[in-house]
Structure 1
Amino acid sequence: MKALIFLATGFEEAEFTIPYDIFKRAGIETDVVSIDENRSIRSSHQLTVVADKTASEISDDYDIVFLPGGMPGAINLQQSWLVCQRLIKMCNENKIISAICASPSAVLAPLGLLDGKKATCYPGCESLSDKKDFLSDGVVADGNIVTAKSAGWAFEFALKIVELALGKEKAEETRKAVYYLI
């Protein structure tokens, strides 16, 4: 199982680091990918992360794609042709598409990936798309799409992705390994 995490300038730190950590603990091979040719990406709170690859260097063998939120990170993801094309391709292949905070409304919805799907996003970010039926739930999984409201839901979000990818037993094992209480 292999995951792709797209990072753009202005990403939200917890929304990136918590899922990254959970994926790695669950045994998911995870690549952090910069959306441009600079591998150093600065977060919304000025933390710099060095990506494993750039978007132009990635292969086609990913099972999961994940978009952290944060501003202006979500808008920067939306404006990346490579990100949008990869999302559409992976969605058409029924791969796991996951996004948190502003990214469901800013990136997934405008691409039509949430059409007919239940989803959630950060309160107030609904206006970033034409989708008017976002749910207020913290984490929503509908088919191959997983969305989450905010950084506060990052653990449950990441564990839901692990469950979809590797099963409930692996998700529970990973939850226990980090002593995450539900």
Structure 2
Amino acid sequence: MATILVPLAQGCEELEAVTIIDLLRRAGLTVVVAGLEVGTVTASRGVILLPETTLTEVLDQDFDMVVLPGGLGGAQRLEADRRIAALLRRMAEQGRYIAAICAAPRVLAGAGLLDNREATAYPGILDGQAGIKTSSAAVVRDGTFITSRGPGTAMDFALILIEILCGRDQRDTVEAALQRS
């Protein structure tokens, strides 16, 4: 079964973080939630999240996918963390999946990983980024890179990640249990 890393930074968007973690776990995937530092993470709306580990403790592990929740403050902290940039570049070199939602695609852009790729993000986040083909779609997949627009697209984003990692049947099973329609 695939193993996914979800790094949490202060100011992350809680709806995105919790939706991603929850749905991936409903699919039976192993999700490692790691804070940039020890302790709780205060998300963008004041919700307190408790990562299971720290980024330092898991940096040497192999992951099939890394998923970056957005939230402008969280994305800025992820982008400023050299460990995140190095991890993303290593995963890209290995052909592993890299996913980001809302403001977090700016982290991928800052690491030079979206050059000549199509991506989406919260409106304005990728403006002025040369070499990126921006889209207004809810979710965009370009090879092993998956991006999404924001809190309102978090469920669709997580379901697409499940489909990529587990197949359409597992995605459909998880989605049916959510009673979305």
Give TM-score scaled by structure 1 length: 0.93
Asked if 1 retains the 8 angstrom alpha-carbon contact of 2:85 and 2:111, the reply is yes
What is the correspondence of 1:1-182 to structure 2 with a 5 Å cutoff? 1-36=2-37, 38-58=38-58, 59-104=60-105, 106-127=106-127, 129-181=129-181
Structure-1 separation of matches of 2:78 and 2:169 = 33
Give TM-score scaled by structure 2 length: 0.94
Q: Deviations over 1:95-116 (max 9, x none)?
A: 1100000111x20012121122
Superposed displacement of residue 93, structure 1 = 1.0
Provide the secondary structure at the position in 2 that maps to 1:127: coil
For structure 1, list consecutive stretches of 5 or more residues without a partner in the other structure: none
Structure-2 separation of matches of 1:162 and 1:128 = 31
Aligned length: 179
Provide the secondary structure at the position in 2 that maps to 1:121: coil
For structure 2, list consecutive stretches of 5 or more residues without a partner in the other structure: none
Provide the secondary structure at the position in 1 that maps to 2:49: strand
Matching residue's letter, 2:45: H
Matching residue's letter, 2:44: S
**Structure 1 stretches of at least 4 aligned residues deviating more than 3 Å after TM superposition:** 127-132
Asked if 1 retains the 8 angstrom alpha-carbon contact of 2:117 and 2:131, the reply is no
Superposed displacement of residue 61, structure 1 = 2.1
Structure-2 separation of matches of 1:96 and 1:112 = 15
